[in-house]
Copies of this chain bind each other. A is one copy, B any other.
Amino acid sequence: MAAWGERLAGVRGVLLDISGVLYDGGEGGGAAIAGSVEAVARLKRSRLKVRFCTNESQKSRADLVGLLQWLGFDVSEGEVTAPAPAACLILKQRGLRPHLLVHDGVRSEFDQIDTSNPNCVVIADAGEGFSYQNMNKAFQVLMELENPVLFSLGKGRYYKETSGLMLDVGPYMKALEYACGIKAEVVGKPSPEFFKSALQEMGVEAHEAIMIGDDIVGDVGGAQRCGMRALQVRTGKFSSRKAETTQMAPSR
């Protein structure tokens, strides 16, 4: 393993995952991970540019930033790259009207989007919203379309809450892909477009950036495929044995 100085040579910008890196969600909003509030503060005092790159799709950016500030983090809405606003941009560009299978907490991000007479489906981490009835409705909408288009805000397998591991949107994306015989378009990590937009907003080239996350596929693998370096933290879902059954490895 290379020494830290060597490993970080030429780095000008740091992309930070949020859930599992800064805090674990859960009852009452969740809890900051030990040392993370101070780590963010130190990064911000350094010469490095910092941006938050999350697949959080249960909360609007405003609510997420409010929670993080309440937990003690120095973060503002403009510093966060999140999938819901990225999806809205794509929907507008392509003239698509989504049927939304999303958590109520993120619905406000879609306030400016026409959802009448839907010609695509957007799913996000809907939590309890992933009822059979709601999944069947999304399925039926897709099956009625001549060219079914499914957007998935991220494709994570699961995430960690203070109470334990929780199914993320990925398994439900796979369910709809199989049911309809289609392939979803992923908006969020590990989509290269998503990482590129975060780099652009930070004003840093891929080779000058490092991604710090707890997901070996979504964070580490995705960032590396974009030419970035990546570090995997040992918090969040990392500790789960199953998180490591993959061929990807953090940058060394």
For A131, what are the chain B residues with a Cβ–Cβ distance below 8 Å? 128, 130-132
Using a Cβ–Cβ cut-off of 8 Å, how many residues does chain A contribute to the interface with B?
34
Looking at the complex, which one of B133, B158, B175, B181 makes contact with A139 (CB distance below 8 Å)? B158
A210 at the interface (CB under 8 A from B): no
Seed contacts A131-B132, A143-B165; 8 additional CB < 8 Å A-B pairs: A130-B131, A135-B171, A139-B165, A167-B179, A170-B178, A171-B176, A174-B175, A181-B242
The residues of A with any CB-CB pair to B shorter than 8 Å are: 126-133, 135-136, 139-140, 143, 157-158, 164-168, 170-172, 174-181, 240, 242, 245
Q: Please name all residues of chain B whose beta carbon is closer than 8 Å to the beta carbon of A157 when the two chains form the complex.
A: 178-181
Can you list 7 contacts pairing A with B, beta carbon distance less than 8 Å?
A: A128-B132, A131-B132, A135-B167, A143-B165, A171-B178, A174-B174, A175-B175
Q: How far is the CB of A113 from chain B (nearest CB, A)?
A: 24
> In angstroms, how far is the closest chain B Cβ from the Cβ of A103?
11
Residue of B nearest to A179 (CB): B171
Q: Which residue of B lies closest to A131 (CB)?
A: B131
Given that A129-B132, A130-B132, A166-B136 are contacting pairs, would A143 and B242 also be in contact in the complex, using a CB cutoff of 8 Å? yes
Q: Enumerate chain B residues within 8 angstroms of A158, measured Cβ to Cβ.
A: 139, 143, 179
Inside 8 A of A170's CB, which chain B residues have their CB? Answer: 178-179
